[in-house]
Structure 1
């Protein structure tokens, strides 16, 4: 009952209209039927006047909307004495607005869920007891308690031994993720059944979930250009409807015929279809781990012809792995790797983690250095077990070991050289791996009509050409600075252009592209803020999904608009011959409104995504047969 009251208050004009209708029925049943035409007529004209005020304001601003037809239909039905039809037109107009609002609320629930779930408080541990503090007061280094089934308030690391986390709202990953001490915890994740302690590594404003919430809030406040396409039909549709009604009046000599035509010309389908479809598309994108900053982005995605990609971290993992160890005589592969990894513990270079991971993968024990120093960008020198170990670039190692020599590398590879006690000890080769689904992503984009591809990277030409050849990318620009990337994207002739990147250095080109898509899973804030869409998971294939959603949304929006136009025109033509009374026409138009909303709600795409997921997943039978 309480829910019904809330809905009635929210849509009070609809409630009032229904109240006027019920009052008219009571008056007719109690013998006071003469008052009904006055009640219905005065109320209908009052609503028409209210709508006319907004209509005139729009016209004075140079904007001709579809309200002209609605107001004209109400006035016409009252003038010719079709009071019941007039009230139904009022109900249709106000009810259409209410249905649009309801459909919008239904379609936005995935977006609203993110906003509603934003944590407000954290349990900070102080001297063996906890104190509830506002989430904005949490600072890096604070120790926090996360109770069972609570949302992780800020980004941090796990202090307790282990737990499981539901990260579906952040990454889209449906299965709980097992976490152990030291593992990263993302704000917005839901803790499992154990209370755990964590150490905050970021403030609330800098945490993953709050950044996503900010993006969602911005996305929900946008109106797409295609939504205004309905208003482009306003003038021709209004002129056609008035002319058809005038011709029907002139040929029949009956002014009621004019009202019967206009009742069916009420433009609610055009007003409702596009907004509902675009809100549904944004909701579908959010459910697929893509935050789209407005319906206009979906329209651009639907028309994309060229896809431009950054290389490192986008088409590749951005984390090089050791692919070969080439020791000199006197050293074996495991011994050389153990020395290198032990020294790299004291380096901040991106390759250091790769060497350490490779050693861990082989089960090698690392040794603590007696002394260590790093020469930024060149290498590291460490004394390990009484021996001097030098790891780094060829020129740097050559200064410490005159017998060092270059090793052969393939395109896309890089070499790390090693010297021990002043003698060349060997080299290790590393390569940044292609993402497993990068090739499939490009194929899907091509199937969606994005037939031109380009790669922009700061890497050398040989590496860039090698990656492009593996993926079948047609255009490559290497050794690019951020300004070079902006210029290259501006010069692409086949537009619109999407640019996909992940780093701070990609922020300018993401802002300059027709649609900038940021790989935001690693929290590249600058890239995410400058982009038009943000992929929340570390999955480049969502780029193709974004284009697919954009195309589906625009197609459904236009289908819904034309459905409303076609059905309305067909019914108007029938009414012009006097075959649909005004009251029946008003009721039929309500059916048209409902059909238009249902058609537009297809943009939410739940069944379509579920079918695609089922098609992509192996059947139980096929799994069992392996």
Structure 2
């Protein structure tokens, strides 16, 4: 069965082998002329077919390296070495099978991800049982059973008992994560020791894991112009090969010498090595949680000289944390935080959630609040401990309680939440955004990779931007920018190509405007954004440096594979000039040249020394940095 499958998949290879077998049988039977006409005629037919394909490419403006193979086949047949011609035909037609094999090896991480995608789900039925259905039939609201070791097929909420999940393929967290009843469970995570019940919040198509799968599939199938790297060498290599072959003919006066030179000048290393290297590099990137959408993007990424970064959510975590608690006299820090949490529990505002989370993490007992009201863009009002209490900005507290908070400067980069009640002013809580711990190490790594300038493009005030720049090593600070301003600033950055790193949604215009747009920490629909050329699926800034290191190694290996093929071919051609390399031997040696070039290209699927060193350096995060400091920020609700 496997034999018939191979014949169906590669019929021209099968036909070439069959012609060779029949030709040998005719020789054994004493019919050398018939053997010559069969083998030679078949070789010329393949050469004509390849020539017609080459002419069509030329009419479309694409130069094809097949001119060498076509000329070699024709020349060897005309000088009577039809067996050498058949070997060249086998090499030419076998290139597709060799490329398929190499691509399969190069795409092993991507293939593993695609094969891991669930195709079926165990959906609950009305009678309390479960039935296996195609994943496309799961809708929001369905109850799904996920058995131990199975991939969670849809985003949803955990029902029933607590369960642990392996989320490493989604978040990069290496240890199992425990989820309680009602917790959000990510599609793509793997259920651990026991079965889990998931109430789907989205359909499979809308869930983030399927979005990532779609993105990976699109990258795997992209027919990007990655052969441009080889095309740069195509015309010179062809001209040099024909010149050497012509010189051999001229010096020897024997046309056989022309054929002997050309059979070792066939172009498979140029045709296959570069695409295989790029596919291997894209696969290597996918294994690191980075999706590069095309080989053309990877080539540009390898040449990046300026990296521009958004601040919020890229250099910082993008969400506030409680940094300082300043209680008034007679109030403790714990009481102040618990009182604030009592009122903020009833608000959906991001600042309110920060305060409530901080109180819970501190293990505080939050008092009950009644008569809760929310004043838009001001704060909360509630009765706590029998006293009318206000939480929010200073003016709001003064209006509600009649007690004006004392004037005190707000540290730059902080948001102040004031508290007061009928008895007086209670104190304030200062929130701030935090710089990512691995930001300084990442920027040092970028400089080590040859990035000449790291710029920050942010809408924040200049003091914030400059303070962050001083802490983490930003070279070029451009602050106070609107989205349209960021697009203009990217175009003005002096050293290109420019890579812009942002969140993939708010930064969509500038990601599209940069030479390479990198969406960091993007999942689901965000990951599928067409504005980004590179999607980092993990919320990890260091992957920017890793992606550039992989791109540089990929291009370097592609060039090495190309030059290896060219150098060996030229050496063999120079040897053939002196008539010491028969055409049939040269054709066989060319197969070894192809294999050497492809094996060299496949090195891109393995991590290189630079990538291993980066992983070691960036795996040890720096000590926590002080909070971002800026001018006082207004509290907006």
State whether TM-score is above 0.5.
yes
Q: CA deviation at 1:224?
A: 4.3
Structure 1 runs, 4 residues or longer, greater than 6 Å off: none
CA contact (8 A) 1:556 1:603 kept: yes
2:549 corresponds to: 548
**Secondary structure of 2:450's partner?**
coil
Q: Deviations over 1:273-322 (max 9, x none)?
A: 11001111110000000011101111111111111111111111122221
Whether the 8 Å contact between 1:162 and 1:178 is mirrored in structure 2 is yes
- The offset of 1:353, in angstroms, is 2.2
The range that moved more, 222-231 or 596-605, is: 222-231
> Contact conserved, 1:345 with 1:356, CA < 8 A, in 2?
yes
Counterpart in the other structure of 1:578: 579
Give the corresponding residue for 2:9.
10
Distance 1:43 1:245 in 2: 24
- Check whether the contact 2:211–2:527 (CA below 8 A) recurs between aligned residues: no
Which residue of the partner structure matches residue 307 of structure 1?
307
| Alignment partners' CA distance in 2, 1:236 and 1:478 | 48
- Measure how far apart 1:188 and its partner are: 1.5
Q: Aligned residue for 1:623?
A: none
Partner of 1:208: 208
Q: What corresponds to 1:278 in structure 2?
A: 278
1:156-177: CA deviation from partner (whole Å, max 9, x where unpaired) = 2222322232333333444433
- Equivalence for 1:114: 113
SS where residue 370 of structure 1 aligns?
strand
Relative to structure 1, the CA distance from residue 50 to residue 522 in structure 2 (aligned partners, 3 Å threshold; closer, same or farther) is closer
Aligned equivalents of 2:609, 2:155: Cα separation in 1: 33
Equivalent residue number for residue 69 of structure 1: 68
Secondary structure (helix, strand or coil) at the match of 1:504 reads coil
Question: Residues 45-94 of structure 1, C-alpha deviation per residue, up to 9 Å, x if partnerless?
Answer: 11111111101111222322101111010000000001110011011111
Shift of 1:135: 3.3
Q: Secondary structure at the match of 2:369?
A: coil
Residue 169 of structure 1 aligns with which residue?
169
CA contact (8 A) 1:504 1:526 kept: no
CA contact (8 A) 1:172 1:288 kept: no
2:325, 2:430 within 8 Å by CA — same for their partners in 1? Answer: yes
Provide the rounded CA distance (Å) in 2 between the counterparts of 1:598 and 1:170: 31
- Deviation (angstroms), 1:344: 1.3
Superposed displacement of residue 524, structure 1: 6.4
Residue matched to 2:629:
none
Distance 2:120 2:374 in 1: 42
Report the equivalent of 2:336: 336
- Residue 466 (structure 1) aligned with residue 494 (structure 2): no
Gaps of 5+ in 2: 621-637
Partner of 1:486: 487
Residue of structure 2 in register with 1:447 after alignment: 448
Instruction: Identify the residue that residue 53 of structure 1 maps to in structure 2.
Output: 52
Contact 1:502 1:527 in 2 (8 A): no
Residues 158 and 199, structure 1, Cα contact 8 Å, conserved in 2? yes
Q: 1:311–1:456: 8 Å Cα contact kept in structure 2?
A: yes
**TM-score w.r.t. length of structure 1:** 0.93
Compare 37-46 and 578-587 and name the one that shifted more. 37-46
Q: Which moved more, 1:382-391 or 1:558-567?
A: 382-391
Query: Secondary structure of the equivalent of 2:16?
Result: helix
Q: Is the 8 Å Cα contact of residues 311 and 457 (structure 1) preserved in structure 2? A: yes
Q: Which stretch shows the higher mean deviation, 19-28 or 560-569?
A: 19-28
* Pair 293,465 (structure 1): closer, same or farther in 2 beyond 3 Å: same
1:122–1:134 CA contact under 8 A, matched in 2: yes
Query: 2-side partners of 1:584 and 1:350: how far apart?
Result: 74
SS at match of 1:505: coil
Say if 1:152 and 1:189, in contact at 8 Å, map to a contact too. Answer: yes
TM-score, normalised on structure 2?
Answer: 0.92
Q: Matches of residues 84-163 of structure 1 in structure 2 within 5 Å?
A: 84-127=83-126, 128-163=128-163
Corresponding residue SS for 2:67: helix
* CA-CA distance at 1:137 after TM superposition: 4.2
Moved more, 278-287 or 107-116: 107-116
**Worse-matched range after superposition: 297-306 or 364-373:** 364-373
Q: Secondary structure at the match of 1:530?
A: coil
CA distance in 1, matches of 2:396, 2:504: 28
Which region of structure 1 is more displaced relative to structure 2, 61-70 or 19-28?
A: 19-28
Q: Which residue of 2 aligns with 1:517?
A: 518
* Distance (Å, rounded) in 2 between the aligned partners of 1:173 and 1:239: 54
1:313, 1:458 → 2: CA distance? Answer: 12
**Helix, strand or coil for the counterpart of 1:374?**
strand
Q: How does 1:190-589 map to 2 (within 5 A)?
A: 190-400=190-400, 401-421=402-422, 423-502=424-503, 504-521=505-522, 523=524, 525=526, 528-589=529-590
Q: How many residues align?
A: 618
Q: Which position in structure 2 is the counterpart of 1:29?
A: 28
> Partner residue of 2:635?
none
Contact residue 343 and residue 382 of structure 1 kept, 8 A = yes
1:252 offset after TM fit, Å? 0.5
1:36, CA displacement in angstroms? Answer: 1.9
Following superposition, the deviation at residue 7 of structure 1 comes to 3.4
Partner of residue 628, structure 2: none
* Offset from partner CA, 1:97-139 (integer Å, 9 cap, x none): 2211211122122223333333333333344333544434444
Cα deviation, residue 336, structure 1: 0.7
Is contact 1:407–1:415 with CA below 8 Å preserved after alignment? no
Cα deviation for residue 458 of structure 1 reads 2.5
